[in-house]
Amino acid sequence: MVRGYVLFIIAVVLGSPSFATAQTVSFGESAGLIASSCGADITANCRGVNLDSNRLKECLSRNQDVVSAQCKATYFKAFEAIQKRIAARVTVANACQREIVKLCSGSTKETSKSIPCLITASGVSARCQQAISDAGYR
Does residue 110 have a pLDDT over 60? Answer: yes
Q: How confident is the model at residue 124 (pLDDT cuts 50, 70, 90)?
A: very high
C-alpha 100/C-alpha 44 separation (Å) is 48
The pTM of the full predicted model, rounded to 2 decimals, is 0.56
C-alpha 111/C-alpha 8 separation (Å) is 28
Lowest-confidence region among 24-28, 59-63, 70-74, 91-95: 24-28
* pLDDT per position as a tens digit, 18-27: 333 335 567 7
